[in-house]
Amino acid sequence: MRTTVGIIGAGPAGLLLARLLHRAGIDSVVLESRDRSYVEQRQRAGILEQGTVDVLRAAGAGERMEREGLRHDGIELRYDRKRHRVDFPALTGGRSVMVYAQTEVCKDLIALQLKEGGPLLFEAEALAVEGADGDSPSIRFRHEGREDVLECAYVVGCDGFWGVSRKAIPEALTRVFERTYPFGWLGILADVPPSHDELVYARHDRGFALLSMRSPSVSRLYLQVPEGTDAQSWGDERIWDELERRFETDDDWRLQRGPITQKSVTPMRSYVHEPMRHGRLFLAGDAAHIVPPTGAKGLNLAVGDVVTFARALTHEKETGSTELLDTYSETCLARVWQAERFSYDMTTLLHRAPDATPFEDRLQVARLERIASSEAAETDLAEGYTGFPFA
């Protein structure tokens, strides 16, 4: 097999890249190790930045998002039983975010790819990227019980942290920056309408809590728990009781309970791999960087990466210049590090470390009070949350 761009991974990054390339008249092949059902059901991110929403619309992938997604114009911060709403459009010149689950983004992009785009091979396991530093890289993969080779002009690794793409970059050429956190998120899906019409981020002495949603009838909630916690060790009533404690306020707001249909624990880490390019191999999304989910940046960072690559390759096609391809890593990393900073700030603002001192507790509250009382501090949060611009 031969194509211009070999894409490893059919998550939102790989699928969106294939869509952007198709609309630019550039052929691609997408290889995905899992089956279609798995890709369309795996629960991941649910918040789309303004820029991501705009890209999906422009790519012709926004019809169902417009109909079923939930536009949010703000978030609520809670601390010391107080409530403070951050108004995004008022602080950012009209920008907002969209609640629309990654699973739904993938379903939309898969349908478009199968209808209009190039080959999308499920259960096609990438085994290795070869010849990345030459003119004709290739992907060795296994599909339908036999090995095959996809010859490419370029390879884009959208295969996540555990994929093969990053391994094709020699260790001697790389630098890794990472931080692990001594806590995780116990997340639940519950068949109950959300108890608030916007996301609620709560800082509490017992730990962080987040009220989110997947639809008007399905709630998504999270609790900060110790690192290594087994989700099944938490009974349903215990989860609801703890959520009630952490969301407590001085007014008559109440948390609505309902049947919990899913629970899992997400570890928390920050990770950046530099560079994001080696020869004709380009990394995108979790293959190159991971953020703690507090800032809702993971999916949106991946979108920024593939938009940058698609623009660079389109520029090369139209002008013959590789200038934008040559600066891909630097361009992406400038945005990545701003998102890493924002996610770290949100995480340390709202989570209580296991060894936190009373001094550190008071500092967190002081930081939240600053946001609630200063338009400048509030604007900084709103600009970061709604998304840093694509280069």
| ∠ Cα 31 335 78 (to 5°) | 105
Contact criterion met (CB below 8 Å) for 289 and 17: no
Write down the catalytic residue from 201, 204, 222, 351. 201
Q: Is 271 marked active-site? A: no
pLDDT in tens, 58-93: 999 999 999 999 999 999 999 999 999 999 999 999
CA 386: distance to chain centroid?
A: 13
According to the model, what pLDDT value does residue 229 have? 97
Q: Which domains does the chain have, with CATH numbers?
A: 5-72+98-177+269-346 (3.50.50.60), 179-268+355-386 (3.30.9.10)
Write down the catalytic residue from 79, 293, 328, 351. 293
The answer, yes or no, to whether residue 313 has pLDDT greater than 90, is: yes
When the pLDDT of each residue in the chain is averaged and rounded to a whole number, the result is 96
Write down the catalytic residue from 72, 196, 289, 351. 72
pLDDT in tens, 258-298: 999 999 999 999 999 999 999 999 999 999 999 999 999 99
Write down the catalytic residue from 196, 204, 289, 297. 297
pLDDT in tens, 232-268: 999 999 999 999 999 999 999 999 999 999 999 999 9
According to the model, what pLDDT value does residue 391 have? 73
387: left (phi over 0), alpha (psi -120 to 50) or beta: left
According to the model, what pLDDT value does residue 390 have? 85
Distance CA 9, CA 287 (A): 10
The answer, yes or no, to whether residue 131 has pLDDT greater than 90, is: yes
Q: Is 143 marked active-site? A: no
Over residues 364-385, the mean pLDDT reads 98
Which of 307, 316, 304 has the alpha carbon at shortest distance from 280?
316
The token pair at 350 is: 């709202």
Over residues 91-101, the mean pLDDT reads 96
Q: Which residues contact 210 (CB under 8 A, 6 or more apart)?
A: 185, 199, 200, 201, 202, 221, 222
According to the model, what pLDDT value does residue 45 have? 73
pLDDT in tens, 157-203: 999 999 999 999 999 999 999 999 999 999 999 999 999 999 999 99
Contact criterion met (CB below 8 Å) for 386 and 50: yes
Distance CA 104, CA 61 (A): 11
Q: Is 181 marked active-site? A: no
| Confidence category of residue 46, pLDDT binned at 50, 70, 90 | confident
The token pair at 193 is: 């309408």
| Alpha-carbon separation of residue 27 from 22, 30, 106, 364 (angstroms) | 6, 10, 20, 50
Q: Is 72 marked active-site? A: yes
The answer, yes or no, to whether residue 44 has pLDDT greater than 90, is: no
Q: Is 292 marked active-site? A: no
